[in-house]
Amino acid sequence: MQLSSPTHSDIRLTLEAMVDILNRVADTEAEPISAGELRNMLAEQGFSRADNASEASVHRLDRRLRDLLPLFRTLPTIRAEEASRLVNEQLTELTIAPAIVDHGGVGAHIHWTPATARFDDQVLADALMALAQELCDDGTSRFGVCGADGCDAVFYDGTRNRSKRFCTDPRCSSRTHTAEHRARKRTADKG
C-alpha cells in the first residue's frame, strides 16, 4: 500500500467540489434539495459513499450545508485568522479520527472520520479539513466571488496564476466575455 497525505491537488478537488455543491444549494435556498438530487451531486463530485447514504443522512447534509454556506460566502472578504476561527468552531462539532484507508481503487488516502461515521459527518469533515489546510497554506486568497454581473456565487481558484474570475456556471463567463467583446467593438467602431 502506497501511503499519501492530502496533496494540494486533493485539497483543490475537495474545495472545488464543495464550492460547486454549496453554490447549487444556494440556488435552492427556499426549499431543500431532493435526497436523490443531492446524492447525485455528491456522487458526481467523487463522494464514494453518496450512493449508499441513508435518506436521513442526506437530508441532514442538506441542512448542514445550508448552515456552512455563510462561512464559504464570507471567505473572499475575510482574513485567514477570522476564517480559521470559524472553521475551528465548525470542527468542534465533528468526531475527527484520521485513518489511512485503501478502497475503491483510489489508493491509500486519509479518511478524517471513523468508518462508522454518518455520511453527513464524513462530507463535512472532508470539506472542513480541506479548508483548514488551505487556510494554513494560502489563507483566503484563493476564494473569490464570480465576476459576472448579477452572480454572487463563490469560487475556489486552484489555478497556478490565480486568474479565475468566474464560478462554474459557463453562462457567467460567456455572458461577460460577450459583453466585453461588444463593448470593445463599439469603441473600435466609434474610433
- Which CATH number characterizes residue 40's domain? 1.10.3300.10
| Residue 2 located in a structural domain | no
Between CA 95 and CA 115 the distance in angstroms is 11
User: Quick one: which of 134, 153, 132 has its CA closest to 144?
Assistant: 153
Give the confidence band of 191 by pLDDT, cuts at 50, 70, 90.
Answer: low
Residues 6+ apart with CB under 8 A from 164: 144, 155, 157, 158
| Residue 44 located in a structural domain | yes
Q: Quickly list H helices, 94-169.
A: 119-138
Percent share of the chain, pLDDT over 70: 92
Q: What is the mean pLDDT of residues 60-74?
A: 92
User: Quick one: which of 147, 107, 137, 101 has its CA closest to 122?
Assistant: 101
Residue 129 has a pLDDT of: 95
Residue 109 belongs to domain spanning: 8-190
| Residue 116 located in a structural domain | yes
| Residue 1 located in a structural domain | no
Residue 29 has a pLDDT of: 65
CA 27, 28, 34, 35 torsion-angle sign: positive
Give the confidence band of 179 by pLDDT, cuts at 50, 70, 90.
Answer: low
| Residue 15 located in a structural domain | yes
| Residue 3 located in a structural domain | no
User: Quick one: which of 166, 148, 147 has its CA closest to 156?
Assistant: 166
pTM of the model: 0.84
Between CA 120 and CA 124 the distance in angstroms is 6
Residue 185 has a pLDDT of: 72
HSE-CB at 50 with a 13 A cutoff on CA atoms is: 18
Residues 6+ apart with CB under 8 A from 127: 14, 15, 18, 68
Give the confidence band of 18 by pLDDT, cuts at 50, 70, 90.
Answer: very high
Between CA 191 and CA 175 the distance in angstroms is 24
Greater pLDDT, 28 or 74 = 74
The total number of structural domains that make up the chain: 1
Q: What is the mean pLDDT of residues 161-181?
A: 81
User: Quick one: which of 40, 84, 82 has its CA closest to 58?
Assistant: 40
Give the confidence band of 187 by pLDDT, cuts at 50, 70, 90.
Answer: confident
Give the confidence band of 2 by pLDDT, cuts at 50, 70, 90.
Answer: very low
Q: What is the mean pLDDT of residues 24-51?
A: 83
Residue whose grid cell is 455563510: 70
| Residue 136 located in a structural domain | yes
Between CA 111 and CA 96 the distance in angstroms is 9
